[in-house]
Structure formats: C-alpha cells, structure tokens
Amino acid sequence: MTAPGRRAAVLGHPIGHSLSPVLHRAAYRALGLDGWSYEAVDVTEEGLPAFVDALDGTWAGLSLTMPLKQTVLPLLDHVEPLAEVVGAVNTVLVQGGGSGRPVLTGANTDVHGLVAALSEGLAAAGAGSSVGAGPSAGVQSSVGAAEAGVGTAVLSEPGAGASPVPARSAVVLGAGATAASTLAALAQLGCTAPVVHVRSLGRTGALARAAHRMGVEPVFRTLDGALDAMARADLVVSTLPPRAADDLAAGLAGGSAGAPRAGAVLLDVAYDPRPTALHAAWSAAGGVAVPGERMLLHQAAEQVRLMTGRPGPLAAMDAALAEALDAPAAPVG
C-alpha cells in the first residue's frame, strides 16, 4: 500500500550543489514511501520568512544549509534543546496543520553527523588501518553512547560517550554555524577545550556564546599557526567553505609544519572536490582522513528518522551517495 504523500526540501543559497535530494530520495525508495517527494529550493535569508509562512500540512520537514541555520530560529514555534544550545538549526519538522498553520520545530542533526563521522575516524585510528566507508556496528554503538543524555541535559558529560579512542585535544577551523555544531560534537567525544582557528577574530562572538552555553572553553586564534596546532592535535575538523583550506593543505604537503601525530583524525566537512586538498594532504602525511560526505550521510539519515518516524536506511543512502559522486565512496583513512 502506498504511504500518504508528504513533501520535504532542502533550502539554502546557493543550493544547486546539494546532495541532500539524492540521500533523502534514496531513503524514501528504500522505505517504500512512494508518495514522498524531496526537492532542492534556492532560498535566501530575505526569502525564508515567506517560504516558512507558506508551509502547510502537506509538508513533513525541511533541511537547511547555509546561510539559513541561524536565520530560521525566530521563525520557529519550538527549538529542541540541542539545537537551542548550539544556536543552529539544520532541520525543521512540520507537524499538524490541518486547516491552520502547522507547528514548526527546529532540530540539529549536524551534531549527530559529526559524532558519527568522527567516530568512524577514531575507530580507524584505533585499528591502526584504513577502513571502508560503510559504518560498522561498533561505530554506531559508540555514536549512541556519545549521544546518551542528549535532550534535557542537552549535552552528555564530557567523556560520557566512550569513543573508540578517547580524544585528548582538538582543533577546529572556522567560526560559522557548523563550527558551533562541531564544538557540541567534540564535547560529546570528551574534548571541551578545543583550539579554534578563524579567519577573523572579530567574528567569533556567536561561536563564543554558543561555546559558553555548552560549557566548552575554546581558545580562539587566527589561521596563522593553524598548521602547527593541527600537528599536535588528536582531532581536526575543518568547517571552512570548499577550497578555503587549500593554503593549509599546500603548507601541509610542503612540510611547513610537522606531520600529524600517529592516529590523528581529520574531518573536512567540505566534499567538493573529492577528496579535498586538505583531506589528501593529511592522508598523505600519515593522518587518518574522514571524507566530508560521511557527516552529510549520517546527518541526513537522522533527518529521515525525524521526518518519517522510521530509521534512516543508511546502506541504501550510502550507495546512492557514492553513485552520485561518480566514484566508490572515499574510504576513511
């Protein structure tokens, strides 16, 4: 029997590059949700209020990418605790409606995606070898443990979620909404004092306030010196836009700083080009590099769960993602 049709979409500006439709449509096919649709819609910050105001009961939810993750906050009826403390919403759940306006609830699945992707890298580092892109049961168990207590407590206690390899130090590149989600993910993995390297120290206010709400105590520095910090870190997460880290990659490849320490994990959330220059340079220097699409995959699977009420079919979504990228999924390692 065909499930009742519902609508969903990813919003952002620009949006033509988004792989979210590939992931969500694959999930709907695997779940037998034949009547469900998922589109990519170019929406600016100025256009978001009108789009949200036009939502009705046919909608199940929205995925949000840049630059809308913070713009949407005042337009929502409710914000889930994790998204509230992070200060960024990448998922809007549309509930009810009938003859009136539906109830809009904001959530954040980026943190889930980051924890899952970093856990894959930590598992690979602990095994001392590269692993395939497919998630293992062990990684999924560690993600569940790391997220235990998220809800009323907002963030689990540092170290409460035992990651495959306990992380001791972390470096974050960038200061936007994804950086805030990264601080939350690192806190769940036991890193509560990361070094955050940014392009402008004058634009760290929102991230500093989010960190305070989380109980995280980052040290803010400019991108100068980031290579040296990366060489000393156990975890490095780049939230910089595509190609913005290419100079760092060139410095790493050229030996401008020491090689990554043994078992150090890098996640570059950008996934175009694939691999990114930073991913390739880190891997060549001996570090464990996690492809950015791993975060995309895991956060999308969590969005599917929230919107449909059924677990996201990770294997089907992973296969569709690899096909869309026109290559086997890049391995972790």
**139 & 231 share domain:** yes
**102 & 214 share domain:** no
3-state secondary structure string across the chain: CCCCCCEEEEEECCCCCCCHHHHHHHHHHHHCCCCCEEEEEECCCCCHHHHHHCCCCCEEEEEECCCCCCCCHHHCCEECHHHHHHCCCCEEEEECCCCCCCEEEEECCHHHHHHHHHHHHHHHHHHCCCECCCCCHHHHHHHHHHCCCCCCCCCCCCCCCCCCCCCCCEEEECCCHHHHHHHHHHHHCCCCCCEEEECCHHHCHHHHHHHHHHCCCCEEEECCCHHHHHHHCCEEEECCCCCCCHHHHHHHHCCCCCCCCCCCEEEECCCCCCCCHHHHHHHHCCCEEECHHHHHHHHHHHHHHHHHCCCCCHHHHHHHHHHHCCCCCCCEC
Mean pLDDT of 266-294: 95
- Please determine, for residue 153, whether its predicted confidence score (pLDDT) is greater than 60: no
- Please determine, for residue 125, whether its predicted confidence score (pLDDT) is greater than 80: yes
**186 & 242 share domain:** yes
**135 & 32 share domain:** no
User: CATH number, domain at 147?
Assistant: 3.40.50.720
In a domain, 329, yes or no: no
In a domain, 333, yes or no: no
**47 & 124 share domain:** no
Structural domain boundaries, residue 63: 7-108+300-324
User: What is the per-residue pLDDT across 205-248, written as a single tens digit (0 to 9) for each?
Assistant: 999 999 999 999 999 999 999 999 999 999 999 999 989 999 99
**78 & 201 share domain:** no
Mean pLDDT of 316-324: 96
In a domain, 277, yes or no: yes
**144 & 264 share domain:** yes
**What pLDDT is recorded for position 166?**
56
**120 & 37 share domain:** no
Greater model confidence, 101 or 64: 64
**87 & 230 share domain:** no
In a domain, 332, yes or no: no
**193 & 240 share domain:** yes
Mean pLDDT of the chain: 88
User: What is the per-residue pLDDT across 105-122, written as a single tens digit (0 to 9) for each?
Assistant: 999 999 999 999 999 999
d(CA 159, CA 141): 15
In a domain, 1, yes or no: no
Give the active site residue among 7, 25, 69, 298: 69
The question of whether 69 is a catalytic residue gets the answer yes
In a domain, 169, yes or no: yes
d(CA 29, CA 110): 23
User: CATH number, domain at 91?
Assistant: 3.40.50.10860
Greater model confidence, 173 or 149: 173
Quote the number of domains for the chain: 2
Lowest mean pLDDT among 94-103, 289-298, 322-331: 322-331
**101 & 115 share domain:** no
- Please determine, for residue 163, whether its predicted confidence score (pLDDT) is greater than 60: no
**217 & 316 share domain:** no
